[in-house]
Chain A
Amino acid sequence: MYYQYDGSFSGFLSVIYEAYHDGTSHVEGIENICAGTNIFEKEKKVDANLTKADKVLNGLYRKCGARVAQTLYFAFMAERPEREMLLFYFICAAFRNSHMLSYSKTDPWIGQVENWALQTSNERYRMLGLLRFRELAEGMLYAAIRPKYNIAPLMAGHFAQRLSGEEWAIHDLGRHLAVYYDKKRIITTDVTEQETNIKYSKSEKLFSSIWCQYYRHISIQERENPNLRRSFMPEKYWPYLTEMTQLSEHHA
């Protein structure tokens, strides 16, 4: 049987739930509707269902622990086009053997899934530092990012803890989605209309320019090492870094 889902993580987990219901040996393919292709005739369309998704994820968590559950989530968020069947294999293997991750060196498929998860996790960790908020006129903090993997939802928890008393949003420009925090909950939404006329608060310019000034002066000239900087902070992140954008304006 071929399954179709909406491209979301809970949608994918709902498919897994159905697949276990139908008998896993029937699964021939899992297809993301958002990816477009409809090559099969007899698809079963599965709607994202939070209860079912929860059951699968909780089951996995209880049987194999947090690391396996997180590996699955992070690997999914790497958004590789061929991810579905491999992750399906991963889940089946996990339910069969809870210590499955220790085989990742010998089973190339499990190793692959782990590798995706690692890449997502690395980008997330780097971005926890490199993300920059700007204060909007209404006082909300707004950050624009363009990450390779779908990490915005994975960073939300971190910022909800440290900026728990603030209203903030992280906008993934490439995926047209945003996570928004209203001082209580985290909400993930699609961003259909791009706001072109963003108004920043009065003090935003002051603090961002002090930061840029600070950035320039904290470097030791005698030790300048542009290659080293680039290796830690690749150029693709620069357009979204306050200190790097205002610097180039300054030079121009």
Chain B
Amino acid sequence: MDLKGKISILADAAKYDVSCSSSGSSRMNRPGGIGNGARSGICHSWSADGRCISLLKILMTNSCIYDCEYCVNRRSNDTKRVFLSPEEIVSLTIQFYRRNYIEGLFLSSGIISSPDYTTELLLKIAKLLRLRENFNGYIHMKGIPGTNTKLLQELGHYVDRLSINMELPSEHALQLLAPQKTRSAIIQPMKFIHEQFVERHSEKHLAKYMQPFIPAGQTTQMIVGASGENDRHILKLSEALYKKMSLKRVYYSAYVPIMTGKNLPAVKQPPLLRENRLYQADWLLRYYHFSADEILTDQQPNFDLAVDPKTNWALRNWQLFPIEINTAAYEMILRIPGIGIRSAARIVAMRRLTPLSYDNLKHIGIVFKRARHFITCGGRYYGLGLDDPVLIKNILVSQNCRKLFQQISLFEGQV
């Protein structure tokens, strides 16, 4: 089969991986080399589903010795198997990069022979790119569960980002849907990378003399909706991963029913709205000082699809509202629906100079329509639901539905 045919198959097989981010690397070009990192990432195109294309996201091969039920590449699926040689991948990466199609390579693979053998091939590609081609653009590679840590360590010196997919949010789901993968085969390498980071951090003063090691950090991905876990379970898992494994990002991918299997749920549409709510809650974890327990409780373990998690939290904790903009602590202001990190910082900075009035607020960049129900400004309340949070919910829901498209785009556009 020619290169074009192989690309079609292997891009098809790689497209369900969500991450295409090229951010976090400030690798410089070297004399005689090609490429560098752009710290905040660059999108080069957008595919017909509206997702950013930043990297050449491809599988080395779609052959696999494993049999994960949800995956097109599973051993038992009757499909054409192809393989891109290291030289082919290197040449595609360089030629695409020269033409400014991409920021770099995101390479994943089915497992051939063994996890170690597969990783050795990935390592070979990384070395060819970095050492022979002097390529300094972005490289993101998949860590294969069960790989020897020695190999991962070496790979870590050449790539910008390494990600090992959680795949499914629980051990039970793994057993059911990905019987050859175990929780520990996934967690162990993650933990190993984390420990490497910690170790290097303690020797920070030597940083100059050290080889780089996964400078853009490790990330992971979970499939949402293929197994029965509730949202609270997933969110708590993410929280633990951020805290204990120093992950840069957890990606969620709504389960797209491409395969059928006895243990797979019968759904028609991928649960996109649920995925979107998870991303919003994930933001609350990472940037807004929320804990998973606050966002979803034992009594209410799933997202209210009608309102976003922050608003939902506010309505549940109505006794804390309305919040006085001129006196509340920064952490509280962050928690007001309709106020983002930047506007919260701006509010705190500006009120030092002068008490904020209603007019000031309108120009500060908050979503006033939403925020007004939750704040007072100089003691005055401008919202509609002082005694009745249910009323606010009703008002916001109708606004929400119209906003839905925008919200989804907001989160998927992240570089």
Give A residues with C-beta under 8 Å from B.
Answer: 105, 125, 128-135, 141, 143, 159, 161-166, 203, 206-211, 213-229, 231-233, 241-243
Contact = CB atoms under 8 A, between A and B. Distances in A.
Given A129-B43, A163-B34, A222-B256, A134 B99 contact: yes
B100 A222 contact: no
Contacts of A220: 15-16, 47, 49, 51, 256
Contacts of A227: 50, 405
Interface string B294-311: 000000000000000000
Contacts of A128: 38, 42
A163 B98 contact: yes
B99 A133 contact: yes
9 contacts: A141-B98, A161-B36, A162-B34, A206-B3, A207-B95, A217-B8, A220-B16, A227-B50, A227-B405
B45 A223 contact: no
A217 B7 contact: yes
With a 10 A CB-CB cut-off, give which of A164, A220, A228 has the most chain B CB atoms.
A220
Nearest to B137: A162
Interface string B86-124: 000000100110111100000000000000000000000
A219 B7 contact: no
Given A213-B8, A233-B46, A164 B29 contact: yes
Interface stretch (B163-171, B328-336, B371-379, B406-414): B406-414
List 3 tightest A-B contacts by C-beta distance, closest first: A228-B50, A219-B47, A217-B11
Interface of B: 3-4, 7-8, 11-12, 14-16, 28-29, 31-36, 38, 42-54, 56-58, 92, 95-96, 98-101, 137, 256, 269-270, 272, 363, 405, 408-409, 412-413
Contacts of B31: 164
Nearest to B363: A105
Given A214-B11, A217-B8, A228-B50, A203 B100 contact: no
B225 to A, nearest CB: 13
Contacts, number: 141
A211 B270 contact: no
Given A225-B50, A229-B48, A232-B43, 11 more contacts: A141-B98, A211-B101, A218-B11, A220-B51, A223-B50, A224-B49, A227-B405, A228-B49, A229-B50, A232-B409, A243-B101
Contacts of B11: 213-214, 217-218
Contact of B100 (A105, A133, A207, A216): A133
A222 to B, nearest CB: 5
Nearest to A211: B101
Given A222-B256, A229-B50, A242-B99, A217 B405 contact: no
Contacts of B272: 223
Contact of A143 (B32, B34, B100, B413): B100
Contact of A215 (B42, B47, B98, B408): B47
B333 to A, nearest CB: 20
A237 B76 CA distance: 44
A211 B91 CA distance: 13
A129 B44 contact: yes
Contact of A223 (B38, B58, B137, B270): B270
Nearest to A247: B48
B28 to A, nearest CB: 8
Contacts of A241: 45
Contacts of A222: 256, 269-270
Given A203-B95, A207-B99, A213-B4, A228 B412 contact: yes
Contacts of B58: 214
Nearest to A159: B100
Contacts of A129: 42-45, 54, 100
Given A209-B4, A217-B15, A226 B48 contact: yes
A231 B51 CA distance: 11
A134 B101 CA distance: 10
Given A133-B100, A217-B15, A228 B405 contact: yes
Contacts of B92: 207, 210
Given A128-B42, A228-B408, A219 B52 contact: no
A216 to B, nearest CB: 8
A232 to B, nearest CB: 5
B48 A207 contact: no
A166 B98 contact: yes
Contacts of A218: 11, 14-15, 47, 53, 57
A166 B29 CA distance: 13
Contact of B48 (A132, A164, A219): A219
Nearest to B134: A165
Nearest to B257: A222
B279 to A, nearest CB: 14
Given A129-B44, A132-B101, A231-B409, A165 B7 contact: no
Q: Which one of A128, A166, A203 has the greatest number of beta carbons of chain B within 10 Å?
A: A128
A72 to B, nearest CB: 23
Contact of B7 (A105, A166, A210): A210
B99 A162 contact: no
A163 B101 CA distance: 13
B43 A213 contact: no
A134 B99 CA distance: 6
B243 to A, nearest CB: 31
B53 to A, nearest CB: 6
Most chain B beta carbons < 10 A, residue from A125, A165, A224, A242: A165
Nearest to B41: A129
A211 B99 contact: yes
Given A228-B50, A229-B47, A232-B52, A131 B100 contact: yes
